[in-house]
Amino acid sequence: MRLALVKCHGSGNDFPLLDARTVRFDDDVWEAVAVALADRDGAVGGDGLLALTGGDRSHPFGMRMWNSDGSEAELCLNGLRCVARLGFEREGIEEAAVRCNASTVQASRAPDLAPGVVTVREVAGPAMLDVTGWPMNIGEVELVEGPLPRLGSTRSFTAIAMPNPHLVAFVDAIDEAELVAVGEAAQDSPAWMPNRANVSFVTLHEGGLFVRTYERGVGLTDSCGSAMAASVYAACLTGRADYDEEITVWNKGGLVRGSAEIGGEVTLSGNATWAWAGSVDIDPATGAVSDVRVEARFDAEGLAYAALAASVPGAPIAATAAAVPEMEADISAPATTPKREGNFSWDGFDIRAR
């Protein structure tokens, strides 16, 4: 079958995106399509597969997301911004309650983070601290800066569902080998945590956080939106950041702006960048992808985001809460960002499955 798609990214988290509002695939077909299209070494590649889905009385549209191993995620905030951008343009709106797998996320078009960087604001949550629903069977209802020796680590973790499960540890420096080891231990579906979890190591910096994540179903990733949201909330919960204050959240893929409310809602503002649009042939039975046709490129968007992502955090601050001063967001854009060339209109370009 031939599918039209957009290759896009949110904060460096890249995906093929399909308009699936009129598509009716069985779950096993979706799983096969995700594995084929999101194969990092394949013809398209990505951290997962995104689908813009149909709406209902309360939601103009929805989204689904599959990890590169074919497992379906509860939420992907980096991907949601891309889905929301497409939904806005298809529906002729600038805000929506987006129906997700296990929650609803409020999304709206936001002022550009920098010239030419199309930006979407998303409000997710509330963050949930009750781990019995994951389930994570540790004999406790909540885990806030507590040990998880079953992961083979001496770190202290905070467990937060956004609604997908996250384990956040604040560290003085990120050891990627250690993060991979802990992340892999969380992927083995042990009896005490059968649905696995995302694991993030977070360093504190003037103005915000740097987040590195081992993502469930993906592995070590340059960016994970829900992990950044969970990290912002964990920073506020543990006194490392202030509620209702916007901070910068850096990652290897770039950055977003984030803030958390005491009730658990987390707001992220970040890019939704198109790389190219086109179509591919795919055989779900074999996973073969062929005849990739690029019909439109959006190089100016990529350059604009690259200029923004070139900003880096300052020196890390000690991970203990008492050592952290009041944070203020640095919202200045690099002077080297190119001028905006305007938003691309999807009028006349059909990216529905066909």
Q: Which is it for strands 165-170 and 198-205: parallel, antiparallel or unpaired?
A: parallel
Q: Are 212 and 182 in contact (CB under 8 A)?
A: no
DSSP states along 99-118:
E-SS-EEEEEEE--SSTT--
CA 111/CA 240 separation, integer angstroms: 27
What's the Cα-to-Cα distance from 293 to each of 50, 116, 279, rounded to whole Å? 19, 25, 5
Sequence-ordered list of residues with C-beta below 8 angstroms from that of 266, at least 6 positions apart, any chain: 123, 124, 125, 127, 162, 229, 230, 232, 233, 258, 259, 260
Best CA proximity match to 267, nearest among 239, 228, 237: 228
Helix (H) or strand (E) holding 160: strand 156-161
Active-site residue, selected from the candidate residues 76, 82, 100, 236: 76
Known catalytic membership, residue 76:
yes
DSSP states along 34-92:
HHHHT-TTSSS--SEEEEEEE--SS-SEEEEEEETTSPBPS--HHHHHHHHHHHHHHHT
Query: What token pair was written down for 342?
Result: 């305007």
- The DSSP symbol for 310 reads T
- Long-range contacts, 334-338 (Cβ 8 Å, 24+): 334/114, 334/307, 334/308, 334/310, 336/307, 336/310, 337/114, 337/115, 337/116, 337/117, 337/304, 337/307, 337/308, 338/115, 338/116, 338/300, 338/303, 338/304, 338/307
Known catalytic membership, residue 8:
no
Q: Are 207 and 248 in contact (CB under 8 A)?
A: yes
Can you list the alpha helix ranges (DSSP code H) found in the chain?
Answer: 27-37, 77-91, 176-185, 225-237, 299-309
Active-site residue, selected from the candidate residues 8, 82, 100, 224: 224
Instruction: Report, as residue numbers or ranges, the catalytic residues.
Output: 76, 224
